[in-house]
Structure 1
């Protein structure tokens, strides 16, 4: 009896994926990669551009004007966008941002800060930041316009930046940086399978070979940086589990991770104990993110709890070895790359299906691969997790990455575990929907989704919980 054909989408051929591991997995402050890490990078980049101006130009500099547009304006205060831009302009890069720095800046909104431009100095304050219109004509929702001006308000340097999700930054006139090209090019999961069949490589080996070809990094260095990323994930779980009290912001949300873990340990059934602990791990990182702590974009800050929770559980509770964990993380990157390349990973562009949905998909792939399954099973696990997040809106209450975001990370981790379980228990060839089809559906859904449900705080739970 013939087997049913897998349902393949009609995706126009695009250039191959050239995203690198350490562009994708970034260490930085929460609560939002597009609202915090991207804008901080923009501020830092603008600072360097100002410092490169001629002396005659810098001698006339009097102020920096900052305009936030789109969801950066709508929910920027709750997401820490204003403090992130300021920190970047003051010389702080995301990977060097200390926990508590952004909250310290927010605590004194009228304070003036000296910004050094070689031998000249101008002062800067959160009050210099303007929250502009949500609807605008720039090519990306998350847009920042920065201008260095003279005493008469005439611009000396102007830049328009786009925070495109996951901490990735572009700007008007941006062109991709020069680098190598993947030795095994692919732009879809179907093409990735073709490369795997052609080369006989495992999924993680193919990702490694492409990483070396694109970046020139030798394997020992890649492994060392992967270990740093994994250690940062573990640290974010541990910090979150040990913290208590209320999270910053008007909603007054209590941290729950530590309490969830203690109660999970006392559950009478083994499966409840494990799932309870997985919930606690995801809460721990999502709460750290909400507090502006240091986390890893996987693929974003808003979804930062899913992957670390699974990774921590795989190590601590499932006794999966370090090599398999690393290989699973590499496999998860392939899924994240595909989602970013063919749809999007920013809540402002496609809703939370692109954040928690993609994180859950990546987590399912990581677990399936680490347990030694074939690439087809890994794909099926990723597809199941993503399929059952399709249509998920981004509707943060009060503009804070807390409600529903924290619980959503925990649910995404549980869905990832179940998706991997489903994929490993079914006959792989009987799975009809491809990951390419699910990603295409996510992209189409995101394009059709109202702006109210894309990180603007103008729809969904953000307006249903009126007391916030």
Structure 2
């Protein structure tokens, strides 16, 4: 386990941005935007020697980057676009014409960036992380030879989180009132200080980000609003998703079916499936979603929270509190294993989302921290070893249906965890996260976002 305390904000875990992938779309866009800011800090003399910007993509960013729109995301970031304010229609329009270049302005200079400046490098790069981006401003020296004026190395580590080489350990600058790095430590803090989980999470968030209590609540409400907008859009939109698979949307059909089954015991389950598919299909279409904890898993929590709001009729306060419980579980996985499909396979994405969803449901139901832990543990336990093998590199098959399956497992984990005494649970959340990390480490890279094995090999049949 990681010995340092968790210093992740709720609003870093739940990020608003365009689909289809937090690692391949949101992360590269943020990295390219950061590189643009650093270009702007160069002296004019260096810029006068510059000729081109080149971006080199490694790992699964190279293997499935085309299908995930990584090249478009990089161009968008270099144009100064940010994930939470990007127009998804404008993003999808980038690079439609392979001959077109886009003007990147740095000071008084302008550089044209197009497909020829983005290199998908299938060779292995010596890096501590699976998904690496190297961004370079190149020019000519006094003798006419090649010259590198600025080079930065970035890592996309899942959920839209990025690290820049040399700043990997950057974290909170202030002390948290209730630090913890494991579920055991979290429970000790709750017991020692006689706190509820919401009180602890709120106090840490306020200390970490400087937000007031009111601002934290408002921003969680905003996250929920974006999640539920994605669900509603997905329930309306019909047709075929982008990409060569030509996959038909299914959410509107399921929703209509559920509405017509007034007296069927299947109705509840079909509604849940429809809500999860709706948000996930919007992600696959490049729409605005919320990483929860990743874009590939952005249907699980939205589907469950939409169900909780419209079927269980939980009010805003209960939903907010449940989101904090979900965040606590997401923090623990990210801190002690990984939420990246490139490192953990799909157990890092859907497995974590399912555990977060189980914690959300259990907390909303007013159950104890022991029950929340048990529900989250069950959620992860039954996703151990799940591969990440997207057909064609698109976040569609099996990704969309996996969101619905992950939500159903979350609901069942909630039922199992609250059906008896939580103290009878034999496996702790900390233990299953440790197993998760070991499983991801042992899993072949073929099964981790590269589309080189598993269902991805069925592409010719689609």
State the TM bucket, normalised to the shorter chain. Answer: over 0.9
* 1:155 aligns to 2:148 (yes or no): yes
Moved more, 402-411 or 133-142: 133-142
The residue that corresponds to 1:272 in the other structure is 266
Q: 1:92 aligns with which of 58, 81, 86?
A: 81
Contact 2:318 2:364 in 1 (8 A): yes
* 1:414 aligns to 2:408 (yes or no): yes
Contact 2:172 2:208 in 1 (8 A): no
- Structure 2: 5+ residue runs without aligned partners? none
Q: CA deviation at 1:177?
A: 4.4
The residue that corresponds to 1:428 in the other structure is 422
* 1:137 aligns to 2:120 (yes or no): no
Give the alignment of 1:293-372 within 5 angstroms: 293-372=287-366
Contact 2:7 2:171 in 1 (8 A): no
Q: 1:37 aligns with which of 6, 26, 46?
A: 26
2: distance between equivalents of 1:290 and 1:110? 26
2: distance between equivalents of 1:409 and 1:177? 31
Q: CA deviation at 1:428?
A: 1.4
**Number of aligned positions between the proteins:** 457
Contact 1:110 1:127 in 2 (8 A): no
Q: 1:111 aligns with which of 80, 90, 100?
A: 100
The secondary structure found in structure 1 opposite 2:265 is helix
Contact 1:179 1:215 in 2 (8 A): no
* 1:285 aligns to 2:274 (yes or no): no
Cα shift readout 1:175-213 (whole Å, capped 9, x = no counterpart): 404522221111111111111111111111111111112
* 1:239 aligns to 2:233 (yes or no): yes
The secondary structure found in structure 2 opposite 1:298 is coil
The residue that corresponds to 1:381 in the other structure is 375
* 1:82 aligns to 2:75 (yes or no): no
The secondary structure found in structure 2 opposite 1:253 is coil
TM-score (norm 1): 0.96
1: distance between equivalents of 2:149 and 2:53? 10
Contact 2:61 2:131 in 1 (8 A): yes
The secondary structure found in structure 2 opposite 1:66 is strand
* 1:164 aligns to 2:153 (yes or no): no
RMSD across aligned positions (CA) = 1.2
The residue that corresponds to 2:14 in the other structure is 25
Cα shift readout 1:290-347 (whole Å, capped 9, x = no counterpart): 1111000000000000000000000001111211111000111000000000000000
Contact 1:180 1:215 in 2 (8 A): no
Moved more, 208-217 or 71-80: 208-217
2: distance between equivalents of 1:464 and 1:256? 20
Moved more, 176-185 or 447-456: 176-185
Q: CA deviation at 1:172?
A: 1.1
Q: CA deviation at 1:269?
A: 4.5
TM-score (norm 2): 0.97
The residue that corresponds to 2:450 in the other structure is 456
1: distance between equivalents of 2:104 and 2:208? 36
Q: CA deviation at 1:366?
A: 0.4
**Residues 45 and 243 of structure 1: is their aligned pair in 2 closer, same or farther, counting only changes over 3 Å?**
same
1: distance between equivalents of 2:73 and 2:98? 13
1: distance between equivalents of 2:265 and 2:452? 39
- Structure 1: 5+ residue runs without aligned partners? 1-10
Moved more, 162-171 or 126-135: 126-135
Structure 1 runs (4+) greater than 6 angstroms displaced = none
The residue that corresponds to 1:184 in the other structure is 178
The residue that corresponds to 2:61 in the other structure is 72
Q: CA deviation at 1:380?
A: 0.7
1: distance between equivalents of 2:345 and 2:107? 42
